[in-house]
Amino acid sequence: MRDLLHGLDVIDDADVLRGLSHDEAEWAPFGTAVAAVRPRDTDDVRRVVAACAQRRVPIVPRGAGTGLSGGANAVDGALILDLSRMNRIIGIDTENMTATVQPGVVNDDLKAAVAGHGLWYPPDPASAPWSTIGGNVATNAGGLCCLKYGVTRDYVLGLEAVVGGPAGEYGTVVRLGRRTTKGVSGYDLAGLFTGSEGTFGVITEITVRLRPARPAAPRTVVGAFPSLVAAGEAVAATTRAGLLPAALELLDHACLRAVEEWKHLGLESGAAALLLAQLDTPGPAGDEEAAAVAGAFRAAGALWAEQSTDEVEAEALFAARRLAYPAFERLGPVLTEDVCVPRSRVPEMLSLIEAIAARHGATIATIAHAGDGNLHPMILAPAGDEGARRAAQAAFEDMLTAAIGMGGTVTGEHGVGLLKRAGMRRELSPAVLAMQVAVKQTLDPLNLFNPGKVVG
């Protein structure tokens, strides 16, 4: 390959390569890559894709590698395309409220850049300080504020991608989607590429929609609950009352304890679960909303529920939410679940998670974008304990089955990658799976782009 990649930033140091050969999905297999390339621009990507096609070398694109499903894991003999150096914000169009970026721009860096213009890029996965917009688009990342503001898909207007197949030779650069707020000129290929985990081509540029900056001080309502199920009922009651918080997050006791032991934020309360609601409606209407949410929490059986009047405390609560995953991971390898169920089934799903944990003797801590019905039970397995690992994996599959049984999905926002392929085959019908495979084969007939992921 080297002969075809001259002038490019090629990595073949085995240790570096190994680090670039997987994401953060625990226990997802990964193979041995032949090399990695760090392109600087679209033309570099075009050259790499053309070279890989010539030698039939699979291409595995990656951003920051913060994925939790193995979507960025190498297959044997693959070339890794590390897009983290393509991290330029190409333009911020304040008049049209859009930004155009290279895929390696970090989510929080985009947020900070547009904030300087009074604008806001809403999608906020917990990985926002590290994960890239390219990776966010590849997985259609969600986050905390999806309940009110939607997911990455809702912000992607247009893409530039390097593709092959029907578009022409591998290495063809195409522009999909648009720059306007509306547009229906042809099939929505930009939408199709969003969430496709790099299996149709390599995204080299992204135009996202922005929103006006939010009011400075959102209200935070906190409720402590005697059981997970009571917290789940409070979620259902909140949405039943027509309330639409910007975020509605759940942390169970195990999460709070793990954060507390690490960061000493003074948050542990002895309650089985905390619910955090953030409300960003401005003015007195926002106060009314906050009061109504606190009322819904109390009516559902909260031990206590109140609006946080202390901004520092409110920030600490959301910081605890964001720290839950790394805090829990300090205790050992963590397999993170990502089921999404209809909101009304959240109490039932939380019950089932407790039952599944008990059945397998697994240690499970749950954080959840509860308002979306999107639950992230984290299954802990002490390192080196093969029995615990097997129990964790059995619990993982059981939770997928439980979610499917409730009309839910095996992945709300992390993607199929490798870890959810079996679950996806249980969720979708054979006819729909056949359509998925056919679309993949059509757009990537050589199966070069991230082979084995999603439908592989």
What residues from 405 to 424 belong to the interface with its own copies (CB under 8 A)?
Answer: 407-416, 420, 423-424
| Range list of H helices, 300-429 | 311-329, 346-360, 386-405, 421-427
- The verdict on 239 binding its own copies (CB under 8 A) reads yes
Nearer to its own copies, 21 or 207 (CB): 207
The distance of closest approach from Cβ of residue 28 to its own copies in the complex, given in angstroms and rounded to an integer, is 16
Q: Give how many residues touch its own copies by CB under 8 A.
A: 97
Nearer to its own copies, 319 or 428 (CB): 428
Tokens 């002969």 correspond to 3
Which secondary-structure segment (H or E) carries 116? none
Nearer to its own copies, 85 or 421 (CB): 421
310-312-317-322 Cα dihedral, nearest 10 degrees: 150
CA dist 449 and 131 (Å) reads 21
Nearer to its own copies, 269 or 307 (CB): 307
Chain residues 140-159 in contact with its own copies, contact rule CB under 8 A = 140, 142, 146-147, 150-151, 153-154
Tokens 């929609």 correspond to 209
- The verdict on 428 binding its own copies (CB under 8 A) reads yes
Q: Which stretch binds its own copies (CB under 8 A): 60-68, 164-172, 222-230, 245-253?
A: 164-172
The single residue among 217, 285, 358, 422 that binds its own copies, judged by CB under 8 A, is 285
395-397-403-404 Cα dihedral, nearest 10 degrees: -160
The single residue among 244, 291, 303, 394 that binds its own copies, judged by CB under 8 A, is 244
Which residues on neighbouring strands pair with residue 363, listed in sequence order?
380
Chain residues 365-404 in contact with its own copies, contact rule CB under 8 A = 369, 372-374
Which residues, at least 6 apart from 249, have a Cβ–Cβ distance to it below 8 Å? 144, 275, 276, 277, 318, 321, 367, 368, 369, 370, 371
CA dist 227 and 7 (Å) reads 60
- The verdict on 131 binding its own copies (CB under 8 A) reads no
Chain residues 168-227 in contact with its own copies, contact rule CB under 8 A = 168, 172, 174-176, 178-189, 191-192, 194-196, 211-213
CA dist 379 and 50 (Å) reads 41
| Range list of H helices, 246-373 | 253-263, 283-299, 311-329, 346-360
The distance of closest approach from Cβ of residue 297 to its own copies in the complex, given in angstroms and rounded to an integer, is 17
The single residue among 282, 361, 382, 387 that binds its own copies, judged by CB under 8 A, is 282
Nearer to its own copies, 363 or 411 (CB): 411
Nearer to its own copies, 331 or 410 (CB): 410
Of residues 314, 369, 309, 305, the one with CA closest to residue 336 = 369
> What one-letter code names the amino acid at 125?
P
The answer to whether the CB of 104 falls within 8 A of the CB of 85 is: yes
Q: Which stretch binds its own copies (CB under 8 A): 59-67, 75-83, 320-328, 431-439?
A: 431-439
HSE-up of residue 309 (Cα within 13 Å, Cβ side):
1
- In the shown chain, the binding pattern of residues 79 to 118 toward its own copies, with x for contact by CB under 8 A and - for none, equals --------------xxxxxx-------------------x
Which secondary-structure segment (H or E) carries 367? strand 363-369
Q: Which stretch binds its own copies (CB under 8 A): 79-87, 165-173, 217-225, 310-318?
A: 165-173
Joined together, the tokens standing for residue 263 give 């960061």
Nearer to its own copies, 29 or 166 (CB): 166
Tell me the chain's radius of gyration from C-alpha atoms.
Answer: 22
The distance of closest approach from Cβ of residue 350 to its own copies in the complex, given in angstroms and rounded to an integer, is 15
Which residues on neighbouring strands pair with residue 9, listed in sequence order?
none
Chain residues 301-340 in contact with its own copies, contact rule CB under 8 A = 340
The single residue among 257, 321, 322, 440 that binds its own copies, judged by CB under 8 A, is 440
